[in-house]
Structure 1
Amino acid sequence: MTYKLENLGTGSALRQRLEEDLSTAEIEALESTIQPFIEIDVAPSQSSQAPTVGQSRLGGFPDLPVGFEYPRLKGKPAVLLAQINFAEVPSLEEFPETGLLQFYLADQPLQEFDYRFDLHQQNDAAALFFPAPLDDFIPQTHNRTQSNNPFIPTHHRLQFERKLAPATPFDTEFADLTIALEDFEFFGENYETALGELADSDDKNLITALNLLGGGGHKLGGYPGFLQGDPRQDIFPTTDWDPDEPFELLLRLISTRDVNVAGFHLYFLIKRSDLLRRDFSKVVFYFDR
């Protein structure tokens, strides 16, 4: 499906502003990259409000099937980063419609995480997927008295909304656009100028648009919106790199007032074929800031 800038929900102001710096061909090329994603809104929960079994959450403890051993990473109980119940999530192509997806991190400072990005050696993070139904799931706890990695001290409630956004300047898809538009030598520079002008605007629609164009905040699917260049080809091991099937964004979380992830952006990436098979055993964890 082909989308237009107006489909981003920011009115006509965005097109009018971009037309000041970009040609019609450049805007159409940017529009060609627009794709849907799920925006995640985080709302801190009151400590007295226990989450219901299977409820989506950030932090806290997971829900697991009866008899399922609590996940461990590096010999210690793992830290639950997020639990996503897809029954609560708007439909997104290729993603599950039901089931519970959980993301875990090792109980250690983020600065000590493995930076090798080897699919067969990563042991600092993990993802678990449980297809519905969730009838035999029970809330979990463990005896960890103190965590070295209390990213989110208590659980936060999550809400989901389907939105649209184009590729960001650091995504490989944007680089492909620049190559395709070789007749427009300064496309990338002009686009960065346009983004800078958006940042100076006091128009709420343009501020919302800037957030979308820059990669947004917490999200499922869509473009990763890396902060320091796209690592998927240069950093990931060549034995696992396939230009015909790159790693795509599964989950992204960023540091906010309510989400303490030590100033980092956290990314969980997956190959499309694995996502379609609902095989989350090869999910790759990456972070930058």
Structure 2
Amino acid sequence: METAQENTFSIDGHEFYFINEPDLCKNTKIGIFEHIRGLSIEIAAKTKDAKILRKNNVLDRYNTKGVVTLRFELEDIFRNDGIDRKFEVESNTILHSSYLTTYWDGLCYGEFFGVVKIKRNLIQIIGNWEGDKIFPINIQLYYDEDTLDWSKYIFTTEEELIVAPSEKVHRIDFKNGLTRFPETFERFVNLEMLYIGSYYNQDTQYNLELIPQWINKFKNLNTLVVSSANLETLPDQIGELAQLTHLHIDAPIKQIPDGIVRLPRLEILTLSYCNLELIPEQVDLPKLTSLNLKNNQLKTLPVAIFNQPCLKFLNLEDNPWEYLSPEFEKIPNLELELDYKIKFFDYDYKGADGLGTITWDDDVFYASGDSALMKSISDYWKNALPRKFQDDLTVLLKKALGFDFISKEDYQEVGNHRFGGLPDLPKDWEYPRFGENWREGKESNCYEFIGQINCAKVSHLQDYLPKSGMLYFFLSTIHEVYGGSNAAKVLFFDGDIKHLGSATKWNFTEEDYFETTSDIPYEGYKVNPYTFADLPDFYAVTSNKYILKNSTEGFKNALLEDDLGYEINELFEPFQKQDIAINSYGFSQHEYPEHVAAIGQRGNPMDWIILLKVPAVKDFHFGDAGDLFFLIHKSDLAKRNFNNVFCTMYSS
């Protein structure tokens, strides 16, 4: 940077001086940095007229130090054998750029309108700040282009590359696609990264139909991404790019060169949304950690892939698999449809006790056998649409147990139904705890109490829960649910309620819990049980086709191909309950909770039920006002074994 006298920074006619003061956590710097697409300009300046500028509503009223900072990120800047561009800025947004914006701090609320000019050694920012008032901004800053690290700059246009010296070109990203490889590219022998097409958008197709054989001239290339192209073949020469660590191809290719599966440094290989029909048998990728083969035409896969020593992630979704070796199940992160896991792997549920499953009466979970319950929704069949599919809908109706909130808990009764507050546990039980508590004098954390159910008092309403005893529901922390671990603890006491101690014996403070800010995480309420018939929400039925196992083809087709699901959801919405419930359905935009449980714990989704659904009611709010689910395998419920209850949640 040249002498300070040549640099100017004025706002509303008041002079600022450029600063680099660590105590202000501000500095002025110009450079090309990792994780920034283009040139980064960060400017910090300070004025001696802060008091005047605050009074004139130029500086923010809290800006007592008189410091203003701004940041620009500019791409497509290379012209005429160097930097030479003019950018128009409106409302803090740089025109001609899809995402790069300006950032200002220290001024009163408003927006910048003007131009940014950048040349080989000079930056000029000229315009107006428009808020409650309009005032001019004029910045002139000299810098030394020769100090820039061009190895990190990403070239985004052919116009830049035509004039750029070959030694400066290390990274290219044509995010809007490319119709052909210009032969002038051959000279970029330092190229390390090449992106062509939209990495995240398979909906837009580009016209690139050929990758040239001379791609092997890019000896230093470590990342090659070709997305949404019209390629039908790949050149063998890609297999000669020995420095490749990341290869992503998304194009209608049917096969890949053998050399690709023998690249010595390749760590991430993505061949998704292609038309691949086979993978070469001989695979030798010693560094491979991630392989994505989603959405192809693969019917089987060579076992050699499993033998890659570093492979931790494998996506096999959306392929017409006919056979997969059971070895693939051992890969730590395997993404594959549940139907295929059940078909090819030993995916039977082993039971909470590890002794396998026992038979259960499946009819008790459904509403069709309860004439009074079915009569309660008889009016809904009068509409022509549900009447047409009445048998299909009846098969899906569950006999759910809901709970209405009555009043706040006063703890005068021991062993009643209760949600929130604290539990009435057997007198000889300790309150359940988990983990290590970092607070002084606290060895572990208390589970959050969700609720208790007196089974004897709901035995006349259903036939799937125990006929007597107490069920207690606890949650360690919502973060454990997000982390994919089993955060639930469900305890069952099969004894007389006279052996219970009142919840008033528990005197916890917020320090006893992992993350709560209250001595009791959720306020306690008394509740009344009732039964209701529940239908699934068909929004995500395409991701949960197993639920239609007993449905007619006409009903399946209407749900999967037409808007029948939306119409049914709307018609039946008035009778679907949003209360705390047992054996109900749960809403999801993706897999239903039963599906999630089967993925995490094995077995068939139809063999899992929601033992408890807790929506966003009263003090219960999980995630973004989401629903918390406790799920149990029907065999474990028949055994009265609650040691492997699975916990998940849905949140928008």
Name 2:455's counterpart in structure 1. Answer: 86
| 1:41 equivalent in alignment to 2:410 | no
Shift of 1:126: 0.5
Name 1:15's counterpart in structure 2. Answer: 381
Shift of 1:195: 3.7
Shift of 1:207: 5.2
State how far apart, in whole Å, the 1-side matches of 2:568 and 2:472 are.
35
- Per-residue CA deviations over 1:9-30 (Å, capped at 9, x if unaligned) read 2442x2233x2x4572x23211
Contact 2:608 2:631 in 1 (8 A): yes
- Per-residue CA deviations over 1:190-228 (Å, capped at 9, x if unaligned) read 433324643xxxxxxx6532x25xxx4311123344454
Name 2:552's counterpart in structure 1. Answer: 181
- Per-residue CA deviations over 1:27-46 (Å, capped at 9, x if unaligned) read 32111222311111123416
Taking structure 1 as reference, are residues 28 and 68 closer, same or farther at Cα in structure 2, changes over 3 Å only?
A: same
Q: Give the number of the structure whose alpha-carbon radius of gyration is greater.
A: 2
Name 2:229's counterpart in structure 1. Answer: none
State how far apart, in whole Å, the 2-side matches of 1:42 and 1:87 are.
19
State how far apart, in whole Å, the 1-side matches of 2:465 and 2:620 are.
27
State how far apart, in whole Å, the 1-side matches of 2:433 and 2:628 are.
20
Name 2:579's counterpart in structure 1. Answer: 217
| 1:98 equivalent in alignment to 2:464 | no
Taking structure 1 as reference, are residues 168 and 233 closer, same or farther at Cα in structure 2, changes over 3 Å only?
A: same
3-state SS of paired residue (1:101):
strand
TM-score when scaled to structure 1?
A: 0.77
Contact 1:8 1:164 in 2 (8 A): no
State how far apart, in whole Å, the 2-side matches of 1:237 and 1:175 are.
13
State how far apart, in whole Å, the 2-side matches of 1:128 and 1:156 are.
20
TM-score when scaled to structure 2?
A: 0.37
Shift of 1:136: 1.9
Q: RMSD over aligned Cα, in angstroms?
A: 3.1
Shift of 1:271: 0.7
3-state SS of paired residue (2:553):
coil
Contact 2:419 2:527 in 1 (8 A): yes
State how far apart, in whole Å, the 1-side matches of 2:495 and 2:650 are.
33
Contact 1:264 1:287 in 2 (8 A): yes
Q: Which runs of 4+ in 1 moved over 6 A?
A: 171-174
Amino acid at match of 1:192: G
State how far apart, in whole Å, the 1-side matches of 2:416 and 2:464 are.
22
| More displaced 10-residue stretch of structure 1: 171-180 or 96-105 | 171-180
Name 1:201's counterpart in structure 2. Answer: none
Name 1:60's counterpart in structure 2. Answer: 421
- Per-residue CA deviations over 1:87-107 (Å, capped at 9, x if unaligned) read 22243122111111101112x
Name 2:139's counterpart in structure 1. Answer: none
Name 2:498's counterpart in structure 1. Answer: 135
Contact 1:22 1:190 in 2 (8 A): no
3-state SS of paired residue (1:135):
helix
Contact 1:56 1:157 in 2 (8 A): yes
Shift of 1:71: 0.7
Amino acid at match of 2:639: R
3-state SS of paired residue (1:194):
helix
Aligned residues: 263
Contact 1:10 1:208 in 2 (8 A): no
Amino acid at match of 2:374: N
Name 1:260's counterpart in structure 2. Answer: 620
| 1:164 equivalent in alignment to 2:533 | yes
State how far apart, in whole Å, the 1-side matches of 2:645 and 2:510 are.
29
Contact 1:219 1:252 in 2 (8 A): yes
Contact 2:448 2:521 in 1 (8 A): no
Task: Map 1:65-76; keep pairs closer than 5 Å.
Answer: 65-74=426-435, 75-76=444-445
**Unpaired stretches in structure 2, ≥5 consecutive residues:** 1-362, 436-443
Contact 1:127 1:281 in 2 (8 A): yes
**Unpaired stretches in structure 1, ≥5 consecutive residues:** 199-205
State how far apart, in whole Å, the 2-side matches of 1:78 and 1:164 are.
32
Identity over the aligned pairs, expressed in percent? 19
Contact 2:401 2:582 in 1 (8 A): yes
Taking structure 1 as reference, are residues 236 and 142 closer, same or farther at Cα in structure 2, changes over 3 Å only?
A: farther
Amino acid at match of 1:104: F
- Per-residue CA deviations over 1:110-158 (Å, capped at 9, x if unaligned) read 2x224454xxx52x32110001212221124133245533585321001
| More displaced 10-residue stretch of structure 1: 63-72 or 262-271 | 63-72
Shift of 1:248: 1.2
Higher relative contact order (CA 8 A, sep 6+): 1
State how far apart, in whole Å, the 1-side matches of 2:452 and 2:598 are.
26
Contact 1:91 1:97 in 2 (8 A): no
Taking structure 1 as reference, are residues 99 and 195 closer, same or farther at Cα in structure 2, changes over 3 Å only?
A: same
Contact 2:594 2:609 in 1 (8 A): no
Of the candidates 390, 394, 397, which is equivalent to residue 31 of structure 1?
A: 394
Amino acid at match of 2:548: L
Taking structure 1 as reference, are residues 231 and 62 closer, same or farther at Cα in structure 2, changes over 3 Å only?
A: closer
Contact 2:597 2:631 in 1 (8 A): no
Taking structure 1 as reference, are residues 67 and 254 closer, same or farther at Cα in structure 2, changes over 3 Å only?
A: same
Shift of 1:278: 1.0
Name 1:144's counterpart in structure 2. Answer: 509
Of the candidates 217, 225, 229, which is equivalent to residue 591 of structure 2?
A: 229
Shift of 1:231: 4.6
Of the candidates 227, 231, 241, which is equivalent to residue 602 of structure 2?
A: 241
Contact 2:614 2:620 in 1 (8 A): no
State how far apart, in whole Å, the 2-side matches of 1:113 and 1:51 are.
33
- Per-residue CA deviations over 1:261-285 (Å, capped at 9, x if unaligned) read 2411011000111111111111011
